[in-house]
Amino acid sequence: MSNDQPTPGEPPENDPFRKQPQEPRPPSGGGQEPPQGPPSDPYGSGRGGGSPYDGPPGGGSPYGGGQPPPYDPNAYGGQYGGADPLAGMPPLADFGKRFLARVIDVIIVAVPLFLISLAFGAWDVSMNDGDSWDEITKQVNTGRQWLWSLLSLIAYVGYDTIMIAKGNGQTLGKRLMKIRVAMLNDGSVPDTSSSLLRAAVLWVPALVCCFCVWWFVIMMTILMDKPYKQGLHDKAGKTVVVSAAQ
């Protein structure tokens, strides 16, 4: 280590806190230093020097061209800077088409179930007009009827799950209405787990406890949800229903 000490009162040459002398800028063309702006402008307003934010000679954008490009709200991926999941996807399906597709699917599953129940005696239709409501309630609450309700639940959930996962996102009703179920993140066909979760949220509450109330809740969530028109079952499966029309 050197014993040389800097002269008192003078900072060393490599002192990082020492203000370094500024090298003069080379002239831009005429041999004279370009004029600087008024003292109130800390960056200078002269052409060919001063602030790097100054425009080029003759006006215009410092980035080239006559005017800066217009602001594009989607330039960085949609609202709040995040990627819009629906970018490049077909338009969302109309509520009317979704409703009709659901009615068709209910009929497709309900009719075979009803015929099978008659054949195997799961529901007794031989009651007389004079039978009381208590008799009907007792029939509904039999173990055989609960078993049939479980089979119905399996049929509806299984139908939706298999058709959505294996049928290009379409049940028979959706195929007739030319709509399909797609994953929200990339528009792909939902896999089995997403389809099963979606179908379970749709059918289990409806068939177990609150048929009319649950369907009302599902319809209201579809109508009120923005911007993707997702019912509670869509949110559970992270799906949307879009047009499949070519």
CB atoms within 10 A of CB 216: 11
Burial 169-188 (b: 16+ CB within 10 A, else e): bbbbbbbebebbbbbbeebe
pLDDT higher than 70, residue 109 = yes
Task: Flag whether pLDDT at 14 surpasses 60.
Answer: no
Mean per-residue pLDDT for 167-180?
A: 96
What pTM was computed for the model? Answer: 0.60
Coil, strand or helix: which one is 183?
strand
Predicted confidence band at 2 (pLDDT cuts at 50, 70, 90)?
very low
Distance of CA 70 to the CA centre of its chain: 27
Task: Please report the beta strands in 92-200, taking only residues with DSSP state E, as ranges in sequence order.
Answer: 179-183
Measure the CA–CA gap between 231 and 239, rounded to whole angstroms: 9
The CB density around residue 221, as the number of other CB atoms within 10 Å, is 16
| Residue 224 in this model has a pLDDT that exceeds 50 | yes
Rounded Cα distance, 151 and 174, in Å:
23
Instruction: Look at residue 241 and tell me whether its pLDDT is greater than 90.
Output: yes
Q: Is 243 helix (H, G, I), strand (E, B) or coil?
A: strand
For the chain, the 3-state helix, strand and coil shares in percent, each to the nearest 5, are: 40, 5, 55
Most confident of 114-128, 197-211, 229-243: 229-243
